Amino acid sequence: MTDTYSQFVNSPLGKQVASRLGIPRPVRLRRYTPGGALLEGSVLLGGYGDAPLAKRVRAVLDAEGIATATEPPTDGRVAAVVADLSAMTGPADLEALRALVGPALKRLAPSGRVLVLGASPEQAGADPVLAAARRALEGVVRSIGKELRAGATANLVLVEDGGEEEIESTVRFFLSGRSAYVDGQVVTVGPAGAGRRTPQSWVAPLAGKVAVVTGAARGIGASIADTLTRDGATVVCLDVPAAGDALAVVANRNGGSALQLDVTSPDAGARIVEHARTRHGSLDVVVHNAGITRDKLLANTDAARWQQVLDVNLLSVLRMNEAILAPGALSDGGHVVVLSSMSGIAGNRGQSNYAASKAGLIGAVHALGRDEDLRARGITVNAVAPGFIETEMTGRIPLATREMGRRINSLAQGGLPVDVAETIAWFAQDASAGVTGQVVRVCGQSMLGA
């Protein structure tokens, strides 16, 4: 546990105080370790009708040697509950979800998982009954997330027609410790464009890939570089020349290369492509992580602060993408991930420039996710929107505000840079080729903008 409050309420004295006062007691979250079990314990698996997606999940669990049951246990714990509601035809069928998941929640292990699979409401056509049933899942899952305790999470995966064969990497992500701080999220999985490949190993799903991470000298960017390297990629670590020493440390410890470059340079995209392809032979993954804040109330902000933030956080990304997404630059089947922010979803006092840039990125990701040419090339473009992450940046926030930021989420704690990095690593897998145009919050189900 990283913060003092969490350490205290998990000490013997603090536990007593917390239970007497009824104050939240954040637990240490289950996080991923390479080679570790996908889940520690059995999985309750069921759903509505013939639950076709549950069969696919069972195959994954069987391969991992994880026991499954179709009835909630009368004693002991389950590590996860997976409910497939994709065959629902109307809201009455939601009873199958209540009957399966409700009784099991009391049996869910610490850091357990509730994973609901459904069909896409967007594909319900003009049928309001079907669309209502499908959309209802979102309300249920977000509520479950808020009811769960002890580090457990609830998430919803909506599967489009033709996306049924693409769910494995997403199911693995949500069941595993990789998604420790991802809670109350809805992700759509569709058909893959060209390029899906099941990795030879789920421990090194990025083996043979070349990834570029901007803003890699410290904070979340350094953690992304570490995590992509751990998963098998060769990483080009990019940051401004002024951060050169720290950048070299990150690049060296990961056996990657360092690229000193300001992302606002007009030729930044071309230089990224050139460096990756000439030094490492290809460019397969780009993570646009570099970002800045210049906070002021809008009434007090000036053109320079406004422009700087939009330049670094948004305009540079749009410009770099023109070069990166041009034919022959990023490999077919490649992946682009951008760092948005909860500010871009909820807005934040004093951050109108920052929120504009981060909301703008979401707009761009949605547009690129719909781009038929990119889909045909199997290129995915997604965003992560971190909430309160424990970094140097958030460490400088005044204590009272910092404590608020940490606690107002379902997990009652801040996330770690690695939580953001794990989500990016899932987007970056070829096996996630059916996941594009998505925005996933890594925020512990923050109440802000929920």
User: Based on CB atoms, which residue is closest to ligand NAD, 78 or 411?
Assistant: 411
User: Based on CB atoms, which residue is closest to ligand NAD, 120 or 348?
Assistant: 348
Give the shortest CB-289-to-ligand NAD separation in angstroms. 5
Q: Answer for the pair 103, 87: CB distance below 8 angstroms, yes or no.
A: no
Q: Which residues in this chain contact ligand NAD in the complex, by CB under 6 A?
A: 214-215, 217-221, 239-240, 243, 262-264, 289-292, 312, 339, 341, 386, 388-389, 391-394
User: Based on CB atoms, which residue is closest to ligand NAD, 312 or 359?
Assistant: 312
What's the token pair of residue 448? 């802000």
Give the shortest CB-145-to-ligand NAD separation in angstroms. 20
Q: Answer for the pair 287, 337: CB distance below 8 angstroms, yes or no.
A: yes
CA atoms within 13 A of residue 117's CA, in its CB half-sphere: 31
Q: Answer for the pair 247, 258: CB distance below 8 angstroms, yes or no.
A: yes
In this structure, the chain runs to a length of 450
Q: Any residues with CB less than 8 A from the CB of 412 and at least 6 apart, and which?
A: 24, 25, 26, 406, 444
Give the shortest CB-2-to-ligand NAD separation in angstroms. 13
User: Based on CB atoms, which residue is closest to ligand NAD, 206 or 339?
Assistant: 339
Q: Answer for the pair 53, 163: CB distance below 8 angstroms, yes or no.
A: no
Side chain identity, residue 320: M
Give the shortest CB-117-to-ligand NAD separation in angstroms. 28
User: Based on CB atoms, which residue is closest to ligand NAD, 311 or 332?
Assistant: 311
Q: Answer for the pair 47, 100: CB distance below 8 angstroms, yes or no.
A: yes
Give the shortest CB-419-to-ligand NAD separation in angstroms. 10
Which entry of 32, 48, 181, 354 is annotated as an active-site residue? Answer: 354
**3-state secondary structure labels for all residues of 106-172:** CCEEEEEEEEEEEECHHHCCCCHHHHHHHHHHHHHHHHHHHHCCCCCEEEEEEECCCCHHHCHHHHH
Place of tokens 């199958």: 96
User: How far is C-alpha 395 from the geometric centre of its chain's CA atoms?
Assistant: 22
What's the token pair of residue 77? 């714990």
User: Based on CB atoms, which residue is closest to ligand NAD, 378 or 386?
Assistant: 386
Residue 354 is among the residues annotated as catalytic for this protein: yes
Phi, psi (deg, nearest 5) at residue 63? -60, -30
User: Based on CB atoms, which residue is closest to ligand NAD, 86 or 341?
Assistant: 341
Neighbour count for residue 264 (Cβ, 10 Å)? 16
Q: What is the rounded CA–CA span in Å between residue 186 and residue 165? A: 18
Torsion of CA 385, 391, 392, 397, to 10 degrees: 70
Q: In what order do the strands lie in the sheet with 153-159?
A: 68-69, 43-47, 78-84, 108-119, 153-159, 186-189
Catalytic positions, written as ranges? 354
